[in-house]
Amino acid sequence: MNIPYKSFCWSLGTTSFRTKNFNKTIEEQLSLLNEFWILRENQNINWSGNNELQARYYDFMRQKGFVEGNAKNKPKDAREKTSGLVDIGLIDENRKLSDAGKALLHISSENDFSSDNQFQIAKDSFIYLKQLLKTSYTVEGQTVRPFLVLLYLLSKVDYLTL
């Protein structure tokens, strides 16, 4: 199979989104965001462009032991910690949990990682899979779904090399 070369970069979040125990960390972050937005002083406030709120979220994460140290630019660090969750659709641009984020938080809080889907994978993994399948980017005016492209290519080639 001859596949023409086209340069493309697929990224989720920032480099700070790379972490050990990726799914556990995401689920902890969803719980923290949910708890943060329940606080009276944070209700009905927009995230976008609100450095004070973003700094408060950084302090909230630090208070809960999710991050350590005292960042020089708290708003930026808070945005970096949450940007990947926006990219995969677990939270919206205002850092509120999406339906998928709420479902994942429910699975995590109930500690019910059983399999109830046609792929026979854990419930949380099934949500991640569906979110990755929905992820898209616009490249030269065309919608590209990188995960679907990867699955297609893997179905067409016999093997991969580095």
DSSP symbols for 25-78: HHHHHHHHHHHHHHSGGGTT---TT-HHHHHHHHHHHHHTTSS-S--SSHHHHH
Q: For residue 9, tell me if it sits in a domain.
A: no
List 58's β-bridge partners, or say none. Answer: none
pLDDT tens for residues 90-139? 999 999 999 999 999 999 999 999 999 999 999 999 999 999 889 888 88
For residue 11, is pLDDT > 70?
Answer: no
Name the 3-class secondary structure at 79. Answer: helix
Asked whether the CA dihedral 146, 147, 149, 150 is positive or negative, the reply is positive
Q: For residue 90, tell me if it sits in a domain.
A: yes
Q: For residue 4, tell me if it sits in a domain.
A: no
For residue 153, is pLDDT > 80?
Answer: yes
pLDDT bucket at 23, cuts 50 / 70 / 90: confident
Q: For residue 67, tell me if it sits in a domain.
A: yes
Angle at 65 between CA 64 and CA 71, to 5 degrees: 105
Q: For residue 37, tell me if it sits in a domain.
A: yes
Q: For residue 6, tell me if it sits in a domain.
A: no
Instruction: Specify the pLDDT at position 64.
Output: 97
For residue 85, is pLDDT > 80?
Answer: yes
pLDDT bucket at 158, cuts 50 / 70 / 90: confident
Q: For residue 140, tell me if it sits in a domain.
A: no
Name the 3-class secondary structure at 136. Answer: coil
The CA R_g of the chain, rounded to the nearest whole Å, is 18
Per the structure, the count of domains in the chain is 1
Instruction: Specify the pLDDT at position 124.
Output: 94
Q: Is there a contact between 121 and 129 (Cβ–Cβ < 8 Å)?
A: yes
pLDDT bucket at 50, cuts 50 / 70 / 90: very high
Q: For residue 159, tell me if it sits in a domain.
A: no
Structural domain boundaries, residue 87:
20-132
Rounded-to-integer distance, Cα 111 and Cα 116, Å: 14
- Mean pLDDT for the chain overall: 89
